[in-house]
Amino acid sequence: MTSTTRAQHRERLFAQTHREHHDRVYLYLRRRTESHETAEDLCAETFRIVWQKLAAGSELSAGMLFGVARNVLRNHQRSQRRFARLVDRIREGFDRTENQPDHVHAALARLKPADREILILTYWDGFPISEAADLLGCTPGAARVRLHRARKAFASYLSRTGETP
């Protein structure tokens, strides 16, 4: 079979599978998600992954299709839980920050934005250095150096106000 013939066969197989199983996959996801839109997005993601698996030579079956849907759903649920935890951490951070003395806010305001961000991520938000590095788009080693420099600058600004860090 030529590559063109294989590609055409794959397209026909995918189209047929999509026609036959889209509604079932959608309903499977809809019963487990919070909205129609989310179920549609997850269904589209499921069929995108199935298309990639077909292109890589995987055999298509209902079991494989629903296995992909289940994994897409689990990824979505994990993402939702992480997002909820992040929102909680941000809320807690605002609560804690509002109770900080003005000199702390003043010292933070004087820091470079990058220094302020690494301090807030690690101290107020409680991210480990490796996660803070991911959020900042740098290596953990670079994040440690940035954190060290930010601490020194913060301590310097605090000492000028007569407070100790």
87 and 110 in contact (C-beta within 8 Å)? no
Asked if residue 111 and residue 65 are part of one domain, the reply reads: no
Question: Residue 129 sits in which domain range?
Answer: 100-160
Q: How confident is the model at residue 2 (pLDDT cuts 50, 70, 90)?
A: confident
Say how far apart CA 165 and CA 156 lie, in whole Å.
9
Query: How many domains does the structure of the chain reveal?
Result: 2
46 and 29 in contact (C-beta within 8 Å)? yes
pLDDT value for 94: 55
pLDDT digits (tens, 9 = 90+) for 73-126: 999 999 888 888 877 776 676 555 555 566 777 788 888 888 888 988 888 878
What pTM, to 2 d.p., does this model score?
0.54
Please tell me which residue, 133 or 89, carries the higher pLDDT value: 133
Q: List b or e across 20-37, with b for residues whose CB sees 16 or more CB atoms inside 10 angstroms.
A: ebeeebbebbbebbeeee
Asked if residue 108 and residue 73 are part of one domain, the reply reads: no
pLDDT value for 165: 46
Asked if residue 111 and residue 71 are part of one domain, the reply reads: no
Position 122 in a domain: yes
Position 92 in a domain: no
163 and 103 in contact (C-beta within 8 Å)? yes
pLDDT digits (tens, 9 = 90+) for 22-73: 999 999 999 999 899 999 999 999 999 999 998 888 888 888 999 999 999 9
CATH number (domain holding residue 43): 1.10.1740
